[in-house]
Chains A and B, each alone.
Chain A
Amino acid sequence: MEYLVNRRDIDFILKEQIHYEKLFELPEFKEFTTEMFDMVLDQSFKFAQQEIAPLNASGDKEGCLFDGKTVKAPKGYKEAYQHFAENGFIGMDVPATYGGQGLPLTVAMPASEFFSGASVSFMMYPGLTRGAAHLIETCGSEALKNIYVQKMYSGVWAGTMCLTEPQAGSAVGDLKTTAVPQPDGSYKIKGGKMFISSGDHDLTENIIHLVLARIQGDPENSTKGISLFVVPKLKVKKDGSVGESNDVKTVNIEHKMGIKGQATCTLSFGDNDQCVGHLVGEPRSGMKQMFQMMNEARLLCGMQGLSISGTAFEHALQYAKERVQGQGKTIVAFPDVRRMLMLQKAYVEGIRSLLYHTGYYIDMGKGHPNPETKAYYQGFADLLTPMCKAYGSDMGFKVTELAMQTYGGYGYISEYPIEQYMRDVKISSIYEGTNGIQALDLLGRKLPQNGGQVVQQFYAMLDEFVTKNQNEPALKVELGEFKKALDLIAQVAMSFMEMTGKGDFNYPMLSATPFLNMFSNVVVAYYLLDQAVIAHVKLAKLLEEKVDDPSQHKGFIKGNDEAAYLDGKIKTARFFVHQVLPTVRATVKSINSGDRSALEIIL
Chain B
Amino acid sequence: MKIAVLVKQVPDTETKIRIKGDSSGIETDGIKFVVNPYDEYAIEEAIKTKEKNGGGEVIVVSMGPARTVESIRTALAMGADRGIHIDDAGLQADSHVTAKILAAALQKEGGVEVIFCGKQAIDGDCSQVVQGVAELLGISQVMIAVKFDLREDKKGALIQRRIGGGSQEVYDVSFPVIVGAEKGLNTPRFASLPGIMKAKTKPLAVLKAAELLGESKPRVSFVNYRLPPERKAGKILQGQEPAQMAAELVKLLREEAKVI
Contact = CB atoms under 8 A, between A and B. Distances in A.
Contacts of A88: 192-194
A561 B193 contact: no
Given A39-B77, A86-B192, A33 B200 contact: yes
A504 to B, nearest CB: 52
A39 B30 contact: no
B30 A35 contact: no
Contacts of B69: 35
Contacts of B77: 39, 43
Interface residues of B, number: 20
A94 B197 CA distance: 14
B70 A101 contact: no
A381 interface: no
B193 A87 contact: yes
A36 B190 contact: no
A92 B196 CA distance: 12
A159 B258 CA distance: 68
Contacts of B29: 562
B68 interface: no
B73 A101 contact: no
A560 B32 CA distance: 15
B197 A101 contact: yes
A87 B189 CA distance: 9
B16 A36 contact: no
Interface string A75-110: 000000000001111001000000001010000000
Interface in A498-555: none
B192 A87 contact: yes
Contacts of B16: 561
Given A35-B70, A36-B197, A43 B191 contact: yes
Interface in A24-45: 31, 33, 35-36, 38-40, 42-43
Given A561-B16, A561-B30, A36 B200 contact: yes
Given A101-B197, A561-B16, A87 B190 contact: yes
Query: Taking each of A7, A87, A89, which has the highest tally of chain B beta carbons within 10 Å of its own beta carbon?
Result: A87
Contact of B194 (A35, A39, A101, A561): A101
Interface in B169-211: 190-194, 196-197, 199-200
Of A43, A47, A101, the most chain B CB neighbours within 10 A belong to A43
B120 interface: no
A88 B73 CA distance: 18
B74 interface: yes
A46 interface: yes
A39 B30 CA distance: 17
B113 to A, nearest CB: 29
Contacts of B196: 36, 39-40, 43
A347 to B, nearest CB: 25
Contacts of B34: 42
A39 B74 CA distance: 7
A16 to B, nearest CB: 13
B63 to A, nearest CB: 19
Contacts of A92: 193
A39 B76 CA distance: 11
Contacts of A39: 70, 73-74, 77, 191, 196, 199
Interface SS of chain A: helix
Interface string A562-577: 1000000000000000
Contacts, number: 48
Contacts of A42: 34, 74
Nearest to A86: B192
**Candidate in B29, B73, B197 with the most chain A CB atoms within 10 angstroms:** B197
A388 B196 CA distance: 30
Interface residues of A, number: 22
B239 to A, nearest CB: 17
Nearest to B187: A50
Contact of B70 (A38, A47, A562): A38
Contacts of A38: 70
Interface in A290-315: none
Nearest to B30: A562
A244 to B, nearest CB: 34
A101 B193 contact: yes
Contact of A103 (B18, B70, B74, B193): B193
B253 to A, nearest CB: 27
Contacts of A561: 16, 30
Contacts of A33: 200
A560 B200 CA distance: 35
- The winner among B73, B193, B196, B197 for most chain A CB atoms within 10 A is B193
Nearest to A100: B193
Interface string B4-19: 0000000000001010
Given A33-B200, A36-B200, A89 B193 contact: yes
B64 to A, nearest CB: 15
Contacts of A40: 193, 196
A9 to B, nearest CB: 14
Most chain A CB within a 10 A radius of its CB, from B29, B34, B69, B191: B191
Given A35-B73, A39-B70, A562-B30, A46 B197 contact: no
Nearest to A46: B190
Interface string A6-23: 010000000000000000
Contacts of A89: 193
A40 B194 CA distance: 10
A561 B77 CA distance: 31
Contacts of B197: 36, 101
A154 to B, nearest CB: 11
B78 to A, nearest CB: 9
Contact of B190 (A7, A35, A43, A560): A43
Given A36-B197, A101-B197, A47 B73 contact: no
Nearest to B201: A31
Contacts of A103: 193
Contacts of B190: 43, 46-47, 87
Interface in B22-69: 29-30, 32, 34, 69
Contacts of B199: 36, 39
Nearest to A560: B18
Nearest to A91: B193
Interface string B125-153: 00000000000000000000000000000
Nearest to A92: B193
Contacts of B193: 40, 43, 87-89, 92, 101, 103
A33 B199 CA distance: 12
Contacts of A31: 200
Interface string A50-67: 000000000000000000
26 contacts: A7-B32, A33-B200, A35-B69, A35-B70, A35-B73, A36-B196, A36-B200, A39-B73, A39-B74, A39-B191, A40-B193, A42-B34, A43-B77, A43-B190, A43-B193, A46-B190, A87-B190, A87-B193, A88-B193, A89-B193, A101-B193, A101-B194, A560-B18, A561-B16, A561-B30, A562-B30
Given A31-B200, A39-B73, A88-B194, 8 more contacts: A33-B200, A36-B196, A39-B196, A39-B199, A46-B190, A87-B190, A87-B192, A89-B193
In the complex, the 6 A-B pairs of residues with the closest C-beta atoms, listed nearest first: A88-B193, A87-B192, A101-B193, A562-B30, A43-B191, A88-B194
Interface of A: 7, 31, 33, 35-36, 38-40, 42-43, 46-47, 86-89, 92, 101, 103, 560-562
